[in-house]
């Protein structure tokens, strides 16, 4: 559970106090030591046990390799390749070998497969640093600073995905406004806990029914209620997590990137994605969409870039086909929205009416909520859900 355990807070507060009490040279090492302890403790007690804890070797390897990163060097490319490789082996091995042996028994299946704590997030931070070093967009920093960046425990497990250039600035001169930082940090953490316990976990009593056994027996309104509950649950669950991570960072004096800004109130799908899991959206834009060519291409190429980026996003969320379909769903919505904006671009813009704004919001919310069906259920169950919803 990590953020919802009492031990987390017993760990967080002394670490934050120690960090604030020490001098500039020692500060990074406080974060490294606390991050290592955090990773080992939660790996052993809640995740993959000592096998998971052994994955600390990944961080040590990454820290050593990162010392060789220079502008336009092949070490950076090796760093990216290794990070992608680590993620592929731990997270996608059985999925990919299963696809390769479709229809037959998977002879290459890894039966003891496990996920190292936070692998989906820390590999993205590794890739960011390697790519930005390659392009000279980020300074090298000291070994201690880089280790502090990758071991910073409030964001280690599930983000928000940080950037080294901003993190290191905070590390060298953290905020000194104790009263404000602790007021905002404690408030943020408590609000996060309320969101998680009081809303997301309560909604679980409805979302638990999104399975092949319960769906055939449910009426349309109930099916809709379950999916709406899932839309609420995933927002309150992940924004709660982000709140606690950001609030925890604030206790140290760090400004952690925001992840959510009222996404369900947005009136188009592009705006939704600018405000939903923002640190991931920005990462995908910088390290997938722009390298593919971004928006500086013909209409079809841009559409392909958008779709590819969202497919990567889908696959990153989970190693199964339903996440790929979820990514394709959002890719399709974003492509349609781009075409719509381009088509309307030649017309004089009229101020939006209240009805127009409401229609845009309703369409966006409905599209996003439909998409959650692919996120919450495997493909056969999602198909059954929509069949039951449409045909009864």
Partner 1 sequence: MNLLRRLKDLADYVAGCTDTPPPGVSIGVASWAWALWWGALGLFVLVFCGQATKFIYVDF
Task: Supply the residues annotated as catalytic.
Answer: 317
Nearer to partner 1, 220 or 357 (CB): 357
Residues 6+ positions from 22 with CB-CB distance below 8 Å: 30
Using the minimum distance from each CB to partner 1, give the nearer residue, 133 or 277. Answer: 277
Write down the H helix ranges in the chain: 6-21, 27-46, 49-53, 56-66, 74-100, 119-134, 143-151, 153-156, 164-172, 178-194, 201-207, 220-252, 269-275, 278-284, 299-317, 321-344, 354-376, 379-391
Task: Determine if 368 is a binding residue for partner 1 (CB under 8 A).
Answer: no
Separation of alpha carbons 283 and 274, rounded Å: 12
Looking at residues 218 to 277 of the shown chain, list those that interact with partner 1 (rule: CB under 8 A).
233-234, 237-238, 240-241, 243, 247, 250, 258, 262
- Please choose, from the candidates 244, 78, 254, the residue with its C-alpha nearest in 3D space to the C-alpha of residue 164: 254
Alpha carbon distances (Å) from 185 to 1, 28, 190, 331 = 20, 20, 9, 35
Report the site for partner 1 in 41-100 (rule: CB under 8 A): 47
Tokens of 161: 């995905």
Which residue stretch of 32-40, 72-80, 200-208, 337-345 sits at the interface with partner 1 (rule: CB under 8 A)? 200-208
Q: CA 235, 240, 243, 245 torsion: positive or negative?
A: negative
Is 324 a residue that touches partner 1 (CB under 8 A)? no
Interface region with partner 1, contact rule CB under 8 A, candidates 2-10, 31-39, 99-107, 332-340: 2-10
Return d(Cα 312, Cα 266) in angstroms, integer. 23
Whole-angstrom Cα distance, residue 372 to residue 390? 16
Rule CB under 8 A: say whether 201 interacts with partner 1.
yes
d(CA 170, CA 177): 13
Binds partner 1 (CB under 8 A): choice among 24, 198, 291, 380: 198
For CA atoms 34, 36, 41, 42, give the dihedral sign: positive
Q: Considering only 33-41, 166-174, 186-194, 305-313, which stretch makes contact with partner 1 by CB under 8 A?
A: 186-194
Site string for partner 1, 346-365 (x = CB under 8 A): --------------------
By beta-carbon proximity to partner 1, the closer residue of 145 and 237 is 237
Q: Residue 190 interacts with partner 1 (CB under 8 A)?
A: yes
Q: Which is nearer to partner 1, 26 or 197 (CB)?
A: 197
In angstroms, give the least distance from the CB of 25 to partner 1: 29
> Which of 113, 115, 225, 370 touches partner 1 by CB under 8 A?
115
302-321: which residues touch partner 1 (CB under 8 A)? 317-318
Q: To 10 degrees, the CA torsion angle through 102, 104, 110, 115?
A: 40
Q: Applying CB under 8 A, which residues contact partner 1?
A: 1-4, 47, 115, 117-120, 157-159, 179-180, 183-188, 190-191, 193-194, 196-198, 200-202, 204, 233-234, 237-238, 240-241, 243, 247, 250, 258, 262, 317-318
């Amino acid at each position: 559970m990590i953020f919802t355990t009492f031990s987390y807070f017993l760990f967080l507060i002394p670490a934050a106090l120690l960090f604030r009490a020490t001098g500039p040279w020692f500060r990074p090492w406080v974060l490294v030591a606390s991050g290592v302890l955090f990773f080992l403790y939660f790996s052993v007690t809640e995740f993959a046990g000592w096998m998971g804890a052994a994955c600390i070797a990944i961080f040590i390897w990454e820290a050593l390799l990162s010392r060789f990163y220079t502008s336009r060097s092949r070490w950076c490319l090796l760093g990216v390749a290794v990070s992608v490789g680590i993620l592929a082996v731990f997270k996608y091995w059985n999925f990919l070998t299963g696809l390769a042996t479709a229809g037959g028994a998977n002879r290459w299946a890894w039966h003891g497969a496990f996920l190292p704590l936070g692998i989906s997030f820390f590999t993205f931070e590794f890739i960011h640093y390697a790519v930005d070093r390659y392009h000279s967009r980020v300074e090298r920093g000291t070994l201690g600073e880089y280790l502090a960046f990758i071991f910073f425990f409030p964001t280690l497990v599930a983000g928000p995905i940080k950037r080294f250039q901003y993190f290191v600035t905070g590390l060298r001169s953290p905020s000194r406004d104790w009263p404000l930082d602790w007021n905002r940090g404690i408030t943020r953490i408590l609000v996060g806990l309320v969101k998680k316990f009081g809303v997301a976990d309560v909604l679980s009593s409805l979302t638990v029914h999104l399975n092949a056994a319960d769906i055939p027996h449910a009426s349309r309104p109930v099916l809709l209620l379950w999916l709406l509950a899932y839309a609420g649950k995933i927002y309150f669950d992940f924004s709660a997590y982000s709140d606690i991570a950001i609030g925890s960072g604030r206790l140290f004096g760090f400004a952690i990137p925001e992840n959510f800004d009222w996404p369900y109130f947005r009136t188009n799908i592009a705006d939704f994605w600018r405000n939903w899991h923002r640190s991931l959206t920005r990462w995908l834009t910088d390290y997938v969409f722009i390298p593919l060519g971004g928006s500086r291409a013909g209409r079809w190429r841009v559409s392909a870039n958008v779709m590819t980026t969202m497919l990567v996003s889908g696959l990153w969320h989970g190693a199964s086909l339903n996440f790929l379909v979820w990514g394709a769903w959002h890719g399709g919505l974003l492509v349609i929205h781009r075409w719509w904006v381009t088509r309307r671009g030649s017309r004089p813009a009229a101020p939006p009416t209240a009805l127009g704004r409401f229609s845009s919001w309703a369409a966006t919310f409905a599209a996003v909520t439909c998409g959650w069906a692919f996120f919450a259920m495997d493909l056969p169950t999602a198909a059954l859900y929509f069949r039951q919803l449409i045909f009864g």
